[in-house]
């Protein structure tokens, strides 16, 4: 089993739709969680960190369920500019490295 | 402040040649990560350094790959000899101890 797994996608949604991505991780000792966004032929960029209590940044909401080892990202009122690959990232403590999921590609259609 | 700087941005070389990729960290950061990304395997961590010391190189594919960090702000990833299967985008990322990693623009390597 891979350390971090994500919905395979791709997701093709119309503008204005709400879309949710799921991510599961296998290492129960993981401490930090993130969503990164990667545009085509560009580098990954931090979208948001994921906190235990859940957090929201505008149209984006991230949730963490430690018991189920599950992270989610919800995008409301999707825009054409949201089209990208979304990478789930998990990190342990004490120098453990970041583990990136395979990514879920989103295409928002006009 | 400048972000992570990588050079070259594109490299085309022939099989058997030596390839050197370069990375400059964000000023003040002390951790550096080298990644490789392909369509088939996604983003793979090759090696990371903390305070110039290699911490985990378990992702380095084989002895043809080597990475150094001669000072606190600069690193090189060398492939010698290069093979067509090394073709990929190589990213460097830096961070301050833990949490957020900032990626450079990547080097797109093609080995013919």
Span B37-87, pLDDT tens digits: 998 888 999 999 999 999 888 889 889 999 999 998 999 999 999 999 999
Interface-testing mutation among B9, B31, B43, with chain A (most A C-beta atoms within 10 A): B43
Q: Is the pLDDT of residue A94 over 60?
A: no
Subunit contact B99:A32, Cβ cutoff 8 A: yes
The answer to whether the Cβ–Cβ distance between B106 and A97 falls below 8 Å is no
Q: Which residues pair with A20 in a beta bridge?
A: A74
In terms of CA atoms, which chain B residue is nearest residue A87?
A: B43
Radius of gyration over every alpha carbon of chain B, rounded to an integer in angstroms = 13
**Nearest CA among A96, A72, A92 for reference residue A31:** A92
Q: Which residue has the tokens 């290069």?
A: B82
- Taking only the tens place, the pLDDT of each residue in B51-65 is 999 988 888 988 999
Q: Which of B23, B101, B109 to mutate to test the interface with A (most CBs of A within 10 A)?
A: B101
Which residues in A77-97 are b (16+ Cβ under 10 Å) and which e?
A: ebeeebbbbbbbbbbbeeebb
> How confident is the prediction for chain A on average, in pLDDT?
91
Mean pLDDT of A72-95: 90
- CA-based torsion, B69, B75, B81, B82: positive or negative: positive
Give B-chain residues touching A98 at CB under 8 angstroms: 33, 45, 101
Task: Return the residue of A nearest to B59 by Cα.
Answer: A97
Q: In chain A, which residues have their Cβ closer than 8 Å to the Cβ of B102?
A: 46
């Amino acid at each position: 089993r891979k350390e971090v797994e994500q919905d395979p996608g791709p997701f093709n949604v119309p503008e204005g739709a709400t879309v949710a991505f799921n991510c599961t991780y296998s290492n129960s000792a993981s401490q930090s969680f993130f969503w990164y966004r990667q545009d085509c032929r560009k580098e990954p960029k931090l979208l948001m960190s994921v906190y235990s209590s859940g957090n929201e940044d505008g149209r984006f909401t991230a949730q963490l369920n430690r018991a189920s080892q599950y992270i989610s990202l919800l995008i409301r009122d999707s825009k054409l500019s949201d089209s990208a690959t979304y990478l789930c990232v998990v990190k342990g403590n004490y120098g453990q490295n970041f583990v990136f999921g395979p990514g879920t590609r989103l295409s928002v259609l006009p | 402040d400048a972000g992570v700087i990588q050079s070259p941005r594109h490299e085309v070389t022939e099989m058997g040649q030596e390839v050197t990729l370069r990375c400059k960290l964000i000023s003040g950061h002390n951790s550096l990560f080298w990644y490789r990304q392909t369509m088939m395997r996604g983003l793979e961590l090759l090696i990371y350094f903390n305070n110039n010391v290699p911490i985990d190189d378990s992702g380095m594919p084989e002895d043809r790959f080597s990475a150094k960090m001669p000072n606190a702000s600069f690193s090189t990833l060398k492939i010698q000899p290069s093979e067509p299967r090394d073709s990929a985008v190589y990213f460097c990322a830096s961070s301050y101890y833990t949490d957020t990693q900032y990626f450079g623009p990547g080097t797109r390597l093609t080995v013919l």
